[in-house]
Amino acid sequence: MNSRILTLADLEKESARLRSLQQKLVVTNGCFDLLHVGHVRYLEAARKLGDALAVGINGDASVRLLKGEGRPLNTERNRAEILAALRCVDFVAIFPEMRATGFLLAARPAIYVKGGDYTPETLAAEESAVLRDIGAEIVIVPFSQGYSTSALIGATQNLAR
């Protein structure tokens, strides 16, 4: 197993270590089912905002609930390993819930990043409440137009026909 793939308990310890060193932990989360250049640009931009980047990924069952039948295309372990291989990603943690609340409580980030397809107002209410309680700054990174997992899946399905 990749040493950058952490349990939530280990992420909590790593986050406390970084805070003790006055380092800023940046976090983001998502399904990251089929990694594309839009994801890479987004993750690189997030990493530049602090001293370390932790990415939370939805577990397989929650991806199925969020995205529908046939998803995820890649297992949670494979998705975690792919993300952990990126230079800009310091840590990856898998969380089983649909919402990232438990991940955010474990990470206690200084900065929380979402892509430009979100606004602070469209974040899930329970996630926003946790971020407010821990004093995390919310940063929206501009969306890279023309890149989406759903569009890639659709294109490959059209090719298969």
Domain ranges of the chain: 5-160
Cβ atoms of 98 and 58 closer than 8 Å = yes
**Does residue 103 carry a pLDDT above 60?**
yes
Section 47-61 average pLDDT: 97
Q: What is the pTM of this model?
A: 0.89
Return the CATH number of 5-160, one of 3.60.15.10, 3.40.30.10, 3.20.10.10, 3.40.50.620. 3.40.50.620
pLDDT tens digit sequence for 62-81: 999 998 888 999 999 999 99
- 57-61, 84-88, 101-105, 144-148: range with lowest mean pLDDT: 144-148
